[in-house]
Amino acid sequence: MRGILGETRPQATVARGGAALAWAACGVILAVALAFRLYALGRLPGANGDEAWYGVLAERIGHGNPYGWRTPSGNPPAPFQLGLLALLVRLAPPSFALLRLPAVIASVAQAVLTFFVARRHLGRGAALVALLLTAALPTEIVYARFGWDPSHTGLVAVAACHFALAGRLPALALVGALAVWVHPTNVFLAPFLAAILVTRSPDRRRALRRVALFLGVFAAGLAAVAIAVGIIGRGDTSAVKGAAVLRRLVDPRAWWEFAVLYLRLLDGDTVFTFITGAGYGAARPFVDGAAALLLGVTAVAGWRRLGDDPARRGIVVGWLASVAVFFVFAGPDALRPHFERYGVCLMVPTIFALAVLATSAWSERRAAVAAGAVAALALFAFWRSYVVALEATGSTSHQSFWTGRVEPKQEVFRRIVAEAGPRGAHVVAPSWWLFWPLRFLAADGPVEVLDRPPTYAGVDGRDWYFVDFPGGPMAGEAWAQGAELRWTILDPGGRRELEVWKLSAGR
């Protein structure tokens, strides 16, 4: 006898077994991706001053203290990061993991929403591909571990994509405005969303209205670049000046450089370099070549078989439009290590476009298998080039990311609290990257954290501690005040990470 799909019973049993194995493999990939988002969340990498600034602001809100409505970059605070933190600090004691928990929540929500949005509008195969890429691509995991504004970009971008695909203009307008609030560079989502609106129109008159909407959204996006321009182009407006734009457009080296950096945003080399200081190292050319080949084959094969589905065409065209507009107005500099957060807005359009192209080029099953293989390789790369690298070196990148078996700023604070006891202490940490993390940990406790040395230490029964990176100005200031070196915090390789000087009360 033959089964319901024309298979004999043994064949049907084999097919069911293969499907069960495939779903189990997907489950393992997703579980590992989640574990990587949570592993040593509070110490890999070291806590960033910008993250801790949000934590201090959340503490002030929770205690009814005065607070400001501008981030250090001059932007309004991101609503999700600040809102979730304001809730969490009331439920748990200060910790660096707590600072990053809102980003983890947003990342998991983004992955879940990606699957359901893609399944509704693009089919189950595309949904599985998009889910696997969202879960496993290194940039997605790294930014899920940061308490930063851009870490919430993916969630609002997927929501905006849904409303564009559904043609719900009022909701799209609200979510689009929210996306720019989350981070100004999300203005570069406008071409992606507008292209979806244009292509999904079933008749010419409606299409013309969609084109007008596209131009309106695009014009609004260009105006909003004025908000983002302070953080694009390394903090100035040089990247968007007409002369700079024209030079980029006619300079083949700029096109090539942008293409390489875009690939590295996807394959993870940029974020690994940003955090660990190493990236893929000697393997970088091989990884870049493999990523270029995979992306190129998928794009060419998928475009040739894309068909007439307006949603699929809109996503691919919109992806290309957003990448092109980003190149014109932001340029390669916005994708370099330490600045790649400005390019995170391109991740959702890219993931959705790859899901569409892969399931157009091949069967849904083959596309899902390929996505699973890519996801597995990406997770291995994250473990090898991020987790292992940080555990071994403590980071050779920016001082803020230096870490060890215990996060060094956390360890300094623990030692000070243990030594000072209930009477507390004064802590002086002039570096932005030290002051805010220590200030966040101190909360409203007996330890007072200052960002500048006092003119006179004074005698109030509390000791003074001066904290700085090796070679920083605090060593001279502490010595001038008569302090003595109390502790030196070392990284896993024995490198000095922090120095703590102590001036005992009454001296």
Confidence of residue 64 (pLDDT cuts 50, 70, 90): low
Contact (Cβ atoms closer than 8 angstroms) between residue 484 and residue 501: yes
- What integer is the mean pLDDT of 12-16? 54
At CA 248, angle to CA 243 and CA 254, rounded to 5? 150
| pLDDT, tens only, 431-453 | 999 999 999 999 989 999 998 87
Listed range (102-116, 164-178, 344-358) with the worst mean pLDDT: 164-178
In terms of average pLDDT, the best of 14-28, 194-208, 399-413 is: 399-413
At 482 the three-state DSSP class reads coil
Residue keyed to tokens 């990406």: 378
Give the chain's radius of gyration (CA, Å): 25
- What integer is the mean pLDDT of 474-490? 83
| pLDDT, tens only, 375-398 | 999 999 999 999 999 999 999 999
Confidence of residue 478 (pLDDT cuts 50, 70, 90): confident
In terms of average pLDDT, the best of 174-188, 223-237, 245-259, 341-355 is: 341-355
At CA 144, angle to CA 334 and CA 223, rounded to 5? 40
More confident residue, 505 or 64: 505
- What integer is the mean pLDDT of 419-431? 92
pLDDT score of 138 more than 90? yes
Secondary structure E strands in 18-157: none
pLDDT score of 474 more than 60? yes
Confidence of residue 109 (pLDDT cuts 50, 70, 90): very high
The full set of domain ranges for the chain reads 106-393, 404-503
pLDDT score of 204 more than 60? no
C-alpha–C-alpha distance, residues 319 and 436, integer Å: 38
| Tokens, residue 446 | 């007996």
| Tokens, residue 381 | 């790369």
pLDDT of residue 14: 45
pLDDT > 90: what percent of the chain?
Answer: 65
pLDDT of residue 203: 62
pLDDT of residue 170: 81
CA distances from 140 to 103, 104, 137 (A): 11, 10, 5
Buried-exposed string 131-152: b where 16+ CB fall within 10 A, e elsewhere: bbbbbbbbbbbbbbbbbbbbbb
At CA 109, angle to CA 407 and CA 311, rounded to 5? 135
Residue keyed to tokens 């070679």: 471
